[in-house]
Structure 1
Amino acid sequence: MKKHLLIIYHTQSGNTGQMAEAVMRGSTQEADVETRLLSAFDADLKDLRWADGLLFGTPENFGTMSGALKDFFDRTYYPAEPFQLNLPYALFISAGNDGSGAVREIDRIAIGYPLRKINEPLIAKGDINQQHLEQCEEFGLAMAAGLSLGIF
């Protein structure tokens, strides 16, 4: 039976969008995993309930996550409570600084769903380059493979 990987992201400059597309390319290399890529504004509770694993992508805005990703959490947090999702998740961040504020805030929110962090965040500093995109593909593939093998 196929596992379901949900990638939720927001992009404004396009950097996180490039990362999200590369994460998606990597995850689709795993045949036993179905992947969906959704804007944070388009994702909702039914998408969370569909998922077996989550990847969140955000730019670092003012030292924290984007408002769009925060909006996703605001819209789904309380409705998700009764389901005790306990899903594995990881983060990818396009950062102008170090990304640590975004990581800290998302990790704090994730505890309440609850979600389980399964990997260190992938933080791309500055303009997105080929090395960042290759890392993103590996990141997506690693999550999909872990789901497929039942590791997460």
Structure 2
Amino acid sequence: MARLLVVHHTPSPTTQSMLESVLEGAHNDEIEGVEVVVRAALTASSPDLLRADAVVLGTPANIGYMSGALKKFFDETYYPCMADTAGLPYALYVHGNSDTTGAVRAVESIAKGMSWTQHRPPVTVTGELTAADREALWELGAVTALAALGDSVTP
């Protein structure tokens, strides 16, 4: 069975809603053969990452950067997993009150250093979550679950 790893930091109601939308998409009934593993960024580990066939990363934008929790995940997995996860499809969602640019840039830079493949453009939300944002997050979860199967077709 393929495995989608969702690594998130959800300190606010908005980031929690974003995570829930991603998970709804990943658990779409039309997608079979994918186990969705959800880990808080502070508890996600190298073994979790090494067993993943695709990964979704979720973070708030804090002071122009990704959360410290997601940074800790990268600090602990970068060297132990870099060689064995090259080519891993990944997707990203970020929430910020006013800007997400720095957080997106930081995650993309680290993922590039790990030779991961960005499967979809990031879903970024500033301010309140809209219905269109929820739909984009649902799709992000669904298509990244398909990527875990090695399928790039949108459901």
TM-score of the aligned structures, taking structure 2 as reference length: 0.89
Inter-partner Cα distance in structure 2 for 1:78 and 1:63: 25
- Show the counterpart of 1:63: 64
- Show the counterpart of 1:9: 8
> Would you say the 8 A contact 1:49–1:85 is kept in 2?
no
Inter-partner Cα distance in structure 1 for 2:39 and 2:24: 14
Counterpart secondary structure, 2:62 = coil
Q: Structure 1 pair 84/136, CA: closer, same or farther in 2 (3 Å)?
A: closer
1:35-114 pair list within 5 angstroms:
35-114=36-115
Q: Structure 1 pair 78/148, CA: closer, same or farther in 2 (3 Å)?
A: closer
**Gapped regions of structure 1 (runs ≥ 5):** none
- Show the counterpart of 2:141: 140
In the TM superposition, what is the alpha-carbon distance from 1:149 to its structure 2 partner? 4.9
In the TM superposition, what is the alpha-carbon distance from 1:84 to its structure 2 partner? 4.4
- Show the counterpart of 2:17: 18
In the TM superposition, what is the alpha-carbon distance from 1:50 to its structure 2 partner? 0.9
- Show the counterpart of 1:27: 26
Letter in 2 for 1:150: D
Q: Structure 1 pair 50/122, CA: closer, same or farther in 2 (3 Å)?
A: same
**Gapped regions of structure 2 (runs ≥ 5):** none
Inter-partner Cα distance in structure 1 for 2:24 and 2:67: 23
Letter in 2 for 1:14: P
Counterpart secondary structure, 2:108 = helix
What is the CA deviation profile of residues 9-50 of structure 1, one whole-angstrom value per residue up to 9, with x for unaligned ones?
A: 102123212211210111111122111111001100000011
Count of aligned pairs: 151
